[in-house]
Amino acid sequence: MSPPARPLVARSPRELVLALVACTALLTVGDQFHVQFGVLSYSSDFRPFGQPWWVAPSFALAIFGFILAAWRPSAHVVEPTRRSIVLDGAWFFGSYAMTGILGAHIVPVTVLLTGAWLGRVLRRPDRRVVIAFSAVLGVLGTLGEIALHATGACAYEHRELVLVPLWLPALYLQGAPFALSVTRWLRGRPWPGC
């Protein structure tokens, strides 16, 4: 007789909705730092608070993409605590805010973000998985933003890396541990052999 099937996600619908809303809010408010400090502009005519209506929903969709990308590797990271999830989120949000406030200082911001990320992940027992996933997210996230900016929907003030700032991949590096922590939390305990 087969063991009973485990649910794919270990969280209640309420917890899933709250996590999606919280992560979407974090990204949308982080984007506000870019808009308010002139690092990023949108071409839409209707822009409440400087952002078009589609920004928050597109961040919600991106979160699903981050979770899908992090699903398998998250089985191999340390099970997060509430505190570690909040700290990973705070690091990412602080990095997002910094790229808005100091975004014109391309090289120092890139070096600082990359150095802070290295300092964080090199101390982790699961660093190999975190580094590999961070590299993938840094590349894919940057390529996704290049594609978005190629449509003309938005534009960064500084475009050293095709249509995006040089520090953008480093910002994705900072977001990767948070994506892994949230995804690992959503999964609950991993399946044996995953």
Q: What is the pLDDT of residues 122-136, one digit of tens each?
A: 999 999 999 999 999
Look up residue 63 and give its two tokens.
């979160």
State residue 194's pLDDT score: 46
Give the sign of the dihedral formed by CA 133, CA 181, CA 114, CA 138.
Answer: positive
pLDDT in tens, 124-167: 999 999 999 999 999 999 999 999 999 999 999 999 999 999 99
Higher pLDDT, 14 or 47: 14
% of the chain with per-residue pLDDT over 70: 93
Q: Is residue 96 part of a domain?
A: yes
Residues comprising the chain, all counted: 194
Banded pLDDT at 6 (limits 50, 70, 90): low
Q: Is residue 6 part of a domain?
A: no
* Closest of 77, 26, 94, 110 to residue 185, by C-alpha: 77
The arithmetic mean of pLDDT across residues 58-77, rounded, is 95
Q: Is residue 91 part of a domain?
A: yes
State residue 59's pLDDT score: 97
Q: How many domains does the chain fold into? A: 1
Higher pLDDT, 15 or 116: 116
Q: Is residue 194 part of a domain?
A: no
Domain that holds residue 166: 13-42+49-187
Question: Measured between alpha carbons, how far is 50 from 34 in angstroms, rounded to an integer?
Answer: 10
- Residue 109's alpha-carbon distances to 92, 103, 105, 124, 148, in angstroms, are 14, 7, 6, 23, 23
Q: Is residue 8 part of a domain?
A: no
Question: Measured between alpha carbons, how far is 176 from 91 in angstroms, rounded to an integer?
Answer: 11
Q: Is residue 145 part of a domain?
A: yes
Q: What angle do CA 54, 20, 187 make, to 5 degrees?
A: 140
Question: Measured between alpha carbons, how far is 82 from 143 in angstroms, rounded to an integer?
Answer: 31
Q: What angle do CA 41, 45, 49 make, to 5 degrees?
A: 60
Q: Is residue 66 part of a domain?
A: yes
Q: Is residue 161 part of a domain?
A: yes
The arithmetic mean of pLDDT across residues 49-64, rounded, is 93
Look up residue 146 and give its two tokens.
């290049």
Cβ proximity of 39 and 100 under 8 Å: yes
Question: Measured between alpha carbons, how far is 173 from 29 in angstroms, rounded to an integer?
Answer: 19
Give the global pTM: 0.91
Amino acid at 16: L
